[in-house]
Structure 1
């Protein structure tokens, strides 16, 4: 069985948040394979700790993927501030005899260093064209946990667990390994708070994550972090503004200062992403959304909305609004050029992570979240059939069937992009619906 089949059968997806099926990413040859160890979202601590705990496994998983796509070089990108992790990874690369193939490069402590296109430029000086992917410039990007899952897949272990940082205004900040499908409430219960009624929970990082309407959901393979903040915190109030409200505020208050554009990471790479122009269209009630195609170049990093705008407007939300309008009309951005140069001002307009943390009011909570061993004993798990980009997986089990940890419970539909799904614990299938499979666990059967 070749590596691609092994990865496909194990249900490996991008663990950094997007959830793109890894086997599909490795179908093409590339010059470079890049490991995204930037973890640029404030407060999240998963990748740096995984590299510290499992350096050999991550290195071997990355090497296997790199050799498969015939990459001539493998580069691990880690922020320079993580000095101990950098030293460790370099030592292990040498010990494994891979110094001629693999190296660690130090990234600057900027946001969003973990954006794929920013990462590609920082590590290779190449620029991914507008509306394109790293493969267009000979690069494939995976993250630390994905590389670890590739290694596990080669050992015959499918993806049944994920690592999550619990952070924010809480007594106990930690990073934990949890079974996929466990309830989010069970995870949050470890943070040392008995009652979270006065708190809001951000699913993901503080910048790109969204506020959860309720916390009665279940962990998926791509769950990365939960940030708890009081409901009156600046960040929660900002993220709670509806799209309609954001449009009204932007329409009445935008002064066209250009700060949202001048600090936009994609604009600084030479792309035509100019949020101030999209805001201008909103102000003038321009109904022809065809002219607002540049909104589709927005990576939704939220730098414009949470850092750049001097009067607290919502340019990212307005970009999202126009993205939706363009999608409804079937309009896709058509690049007019393929070669790009970083703008000359880029070096002076990068966003320092520490300044960002201060700007969004998280300095008091920017503390370690140590990897903590916790044994979860849930009564039920609910495993989503769509934890990835692509078509939902199709159940291959029936109600009443007993399943074991690691057993395939849903497959990829024929001729579709998708990922397989496995049971994360022993138990009995008690419900199958369009969205998930519910399993009653172990001793509760």
Structure 2
């Protein structure tokens, strides 16, 4: 079996949160393959620790992925503040005799350095076109945990475990490895908090992650971190605003200062994303269909809403409003050009991570979250059939079946984009639905 088929069978998806099936991404031909080790979201600590713990495996998996896509060069992007990890990676690349192919590129400590399009520009100087993806400028991007999973797939190991940072206003900040399908509440309680009635949980990083409406779910391959904060924290209150509330506040207060646009990472790359115009269209009910289309260029990084706006308004929500409205009408933005250049002011408008963390009210929580043995032994796990981009996996087991950890329990539907799923513990299949497969430990 070739590596691409091994990756497909292992059920590997983008581990950085996007969840795109990796085997589909690696069918492209590219000039560069890029490793996203930026982990630009505040408080998250997975990638930097994995690169320190498993440098050889990550380098080997990354190099193998690069050979698959025919890349001439493989570049690892990591923030220059991680000096010890950078030196270790450089040392191991030479020891593995890959120095002529794999290189390390130091990234500035800015947000959002881990945005795919920002990463492509920082590592290659190329700008991904509007509404485009990295392959359009000859690049394929994989996350560092994804590279580790590619190496494991080459050794016959499917994806059955996930690395997650638990951070925020909690006694114990830590990063753990848990079986996919573990009850989220079990992971949250590792924080040292038992009663969550006064807390809210952000699924992912504090910038892009949503506040979880229900913390009674189960870990998926896409989970990256859980940020636990008091319900009255600024960030929770800001993220809990409804669309109708945002529309009222925007209309009453926006003065069209255009700071949201001037600080937008995609605008600075030369794209036509201009949140202040979306605020104008929303606030004055302007019937301008062409003008509304630029909302589809928003990557929802939240820079405009959580950092740039001096009045604390909701420009990202305005973008989201029009994105959803246009999607309902099946209307799509069409770029007027194919080549783009970053704006000359971009170097002057990059936002340092420390400044962002202070603005978010997270400075006192910006502490290490060391890799820790969780000790979790979940008795019941639920493997979601849809934890990736594309069609849900088709169950290939029935209730009552005995399964072993690592056994495939759901496959990709014929002719569809998707990812296989595997049992993360050995036990008995207790329930099979269209949404999940439940397994009880024997």
- Do they fold alike, i.e. is TM over 0.5? yes
- Structure 1 equivalent of residue 319 of structure 2: 319
Contact 1:40 1:110 in 2 (8 A): yes
SS of the residue corresponding to residue 12 of structure 1 reads: coil
SS of the residue corresponding to residue 354 of structure 1 reads: helix
By how many angstroms is 1:92 displaced? 0.2
Give CA deviations for 1:330-389 in whole Å, capped at 9, x if unaligned. 001100001111101001001110000000000000000000012211121011000000
SS of the residue corresponding to residue 430 of structure 1 reads: strand
- Structure 1 equivalent of residue 285 of structure 2: 285
Structure 1 window deviating more from structure 2 (101-110 vs 373-382): it is 373-382
CA distance in 2, matches of 1:32, 1:38: 17
Runs of 5+ unmatched residues, structure 1: none
CA distance in 2, matches of 1:81, 1:291: 41
By how many angstroms is 1:293 displaced? 0.6
Contact 1:21 1:419 in 2 (8 A): yes
Give CA deviations for 1:290-338 in whole Å, capped at 9, x if unaligned. 4301000000000000000000001111111110000000001100001
Moved over 3 A (4+): 287-290
Give matches, 1:36-47, under 5 Å.
36-47=36-47
- Structure 2 equivalent of residue 404 of structure 1: 404
CA distance in 2, matches of 1:406, 1:385: 15
Contact 2:204 2:223 in 1 (8 A): yes
Give CA deviations for 1:376-430 in whole Å, capped at 9, x if unaligned. 1112101100000000010000010011100000000111100000000001111
CA distance in 2, matches of 1:288, 1:241: 26
SS of the residue corresponding to residue 40 of structure 2 reads: coil
Contact 1:45 1:165 in 2 (8 A): yes
- Structure 2 equivalent of residue 151 of structure 1: 151
By how many angstroms is 1:257 displaced? 0.3
Give CA deviations for 1:48-100 in whole Å, capped at 9, x if unaligned. 00000000000000000001111000000000000000000000000000110
CA distance in 2, matches of 1:247, 1:134: 33
Give matches, 1:70-149, under 5 Å.
70-149=70-149
- Structure 2 equivalent of residue 3 of structure 1: 3
SS of the residue corresponding to residue 81 of structure 1 reads: coil
SS of the residue corresponding to residue 178 of structure 2 reads: strand
SS of the residue corresponding to residue 150 of structure 1 reads: helix
CA distance in 1, matches of 2:22, 2:332: 25
Contact 2:174 2:191 in 1 (8 A): yes
CA distance in 1, matches of 2:321, 2:244: 9
- Structure 2 equivalent of residue 34 of structure 1: 34
- Structure 2 equivalent of residue 365 of structure 1: 365
By how many angstroms is 1:152 displaced? 0.3
By how many angstroms is 1:288 displaced? 4.3
CA distance in 1, matches of 2:318, 2:437: 36
By how many angstroms is 1:196 displaced? 1.6
Matched, 1:178 2:178: yes
CA distance in 2, matches of 1:153, 1:379: 26
- Structure 2 equivalent of residue 251 of structure 1: 251
Contact 1:289 1:325 in 2 (8 A): no
Q: Report the count of equivalent residues.
A: 442
Matched, 1:215 2:215: yes
SS of the residue corresponding to residue 52 of structure 1 reads: helix
Runs of 5+ unmatched residues, structure 2: none
